[in-house]
Amino acid sequence: MLDNDRQRTQLVAQLKQLRSVALVAQAGQAASAPAAASGAAGAGLLGAIASGMASVEASLRERDTPLRYWSARFRAAGRELYGLASGAGPQPSTRILLDLVLMLAGWLACAALLIWAQHGFWARHGVAVKLDPNPSAKEMLIFALRRVGPWIVSFVAVLAIARGLPDSLGRTLALVAAYAIVSGSVFASLCLIMFALFSSGHRRAAGRVLIARSWRLLRLIGAFGALGDAALNRDVAWQLGLDLSSLVSTASSMTAAVLCACFAVAYRRPVAHLIRNRSHAQRTGHRATTEMADFAATLWPAPVLVLAFAAVAGTLLVSRSSSDLLRTSIVSALLLVLAFFLSAVVLRVTRPNPVHRKRRHRSVYVARLVRFAGSLATLFIWLGYVELTSRLWGISLARIVEHSVAARGIAQAVTAIVVTLFVAWLAWIVVDTAILEALSSATSRGKARNPSVRARTMLPLVRNVAFVTIVTVAAIVTAANLGINVTPLLAGAGVIGLAVGFGAQSLVSDLITGLFIIVEDTISVGDWIDVDGGHAGTVEHLTIRTVRLRDGQGALHSIPFSQIKIVKNLSRDYGCAVFEVRAPFSADLDQVTRLIRDAGADLWSDGAVRRLMLGAVEVWGLDRFEPNWMIVKGQIRTRPQQQSTVMRAFNARIKRRMDDAGIEIPLPQMHVYSTTAGGAAAEDATREDARDPARDARDDMGRGGEGRAAGAEGSGGKRTDARAAAAGERGAKGV
108-122 confidence digits (pLDDT tens): 898 888 888 887 777
pLDDT on residue 29: 47
- Which of 187, 191, 201, 218 lies closest to 131 in space, CA to CA? 191
In this predicted structure, the answer to whether residue 732 has a pLDDT above a threshold of 60 is no
**Sign of the CA dihedral running 226, 227, 232, 234:** positive
Distances (CA, A) of 260 to 194, 220, 222: 17, 10, 10
pLDDT on residue 27: 46
In this predicted structure, the answer to whether residue 245 has a pLDDT above a threshold of 70 is yes
Name the pLDDT band for 362 (thresholds 50, 70, 90): low
pLDDT on residue 9: 65
The mean per-residue pLDDT over the stretch 248-273 comes to 89
Alpha carbon dihedral 29, 30, 32, 34, in 10-degree steps, equals: 150
pLDDT on residue 423: 93
In this predicted structure, the answer to whether residue 13 has a pLDDT above a threshold of 70 is no
Q: What percent of the chain has pLDDT over 70?
A: 75
pLDDT on residue 424: 93
Distances (CA, A) of 116 to 99, 216, 236: 26, 21, 33
Name the pLDDT band for 689 (thresholds 50, 70, 90): very low
- Give 545-554 pLDDT, tens digit per residue: 888 899 888 8
Amino acid letter at 518? I
In this predicted structure, the answer to whether residue 493 has a pLDDT above a threshold of 70 is yes
The mean per-residue pLDDT over the stretch 509-531 comes to 80
In this predicted structure, the answer to whether residue 699 has a pLDDT above a threshold of 60 is no
The whole-angstrom separation of Cα 669 and Cα 686 is 9
pLDDT on residue 21: 52
Q: Are β-strands 546-550 and 567-569 bridged in parallel, bridged antiparallel, or unpaired?
A: unpaired
The whole-angstrom separation of Cα 580 and Cα 651 is 10
Half-sphere exposure for 474 (CA within 13 Å, toward CB): 18
- List the alpha helices (DSSP H) in 570-667: 589-605, 607-610, 643-660
In this predicted structure, the answer to whether residue 502 has a pLDDT above a threshold of 60 is yes
**pTM (two decimals):** 0.51
Q: Is 568 helix (H, G, I), strand (E, B) or coil?
A: strand
In this predicted structure, the answer to whether residue 407 has a pLDDT above a threshold of 90 is no
The mean per-residue pLDDT over the stretch 222-242 comes to 85
C-beta atoms surrounding 665 within 10 Å: 20
Q: Residues 271, 218: contact at Cβ < 8 Å?
A: no
pLDDT on residue 683: 44
Q: State the chain's mean pLDDT as an integer.
A: 76
List the domain boundaries for the chain.
5-80, 81-366, 507-569, 575-734
Task: Provide the terminal-to-terminal Cα distance of the chain, rounded to the nearest Å.
Answer: 163
Name the pLDDT band for 459 (thresholds 50, 70, 90): confident
- Give 146-166 pLDDT, tens digit per residue: 888 888 888 888 888 888 788
Q: Residues 107, 174: contact at Cβ < 8 Å?
A: yes
Name the pLDDT band for 648 (thresholds 50, 70, 90): very high
The whole-angstrom separation of Cα 337 and Cα 6 is 82
Top CATH class of 507-569 equals mainly beta
- Give 37-80 pLDDT, tens digit per residue: 444 444 555 555 666 556 555 555 555 567 777 888 888 888 88
CATH 3.30.70.360 is the classification of domain 575-734: no
In this predicted structure, the answer to whether residue 353 has a pLDDT above a threshold of 90 is no
User: DSSP label at 625?
Assistant: E
- Give 195-225 pLDDT, tens digit per residue: 888 777 777 888 888 888 888 999 999 899 8
Distances (CA, A) of 706 to 647, 649, 717: 8, 13, 16
The whole-angstrom separation of Cα 183 and Cα 151 is 10
Q: Residues 514, 559: contact at Cβ < 8 Å?
A: no
User: DSSP label at 318?
Assistant: T
Strand spans (E) along 498-652: 528-531, 536-542, 546-550, 556-560, 567-569, 575-583, 618-625, 630-638
The mean per-residue pLDDT over the stretch 384-397 comes to 81
pLDDT on residue 444: 53
> Which H/E stretch holds residue 344?
helix 322-350
In this predicted structure, the answer to whether residue 716 has a pLDDT above a threshold of 70 is no
The mean per-residue pLDDT over the stretch 646-664 comes to 90
pLDDT on residue 211: 85
Query: Left, alpha or beta for 87 (phi > 0: left; psi -120 to 50: alpha)?
Result: left
Q: Residues 538, 549: contact at Cβ < 8 Å?
A: yes
- Which of 168, 180, 197, 7 lies closest to 94 in space, CA to CA? 168
Q: Do domains 507-569 and 575-734 have the same CATH topology?
A: no
- Give 617-642 pLDDT, tens digit per residue: 889 989 899 888 899 999 999 988 88
The whole-angstrom separation of Cα 33 and Cα 51 is 13
The mean per-residue pLDDT over the stretch 509-534 comes to 80
Q: Mean pLDDT check: name the lowest of 145-149, 411-415, 724-728.
A: 724-728
- Which of 249, 247, 227 lies closest to 76 in space, CA to CA? 247
C-beta atoms surrounding 693 within 10 Å: 12
pLDDT on residue 730: 39
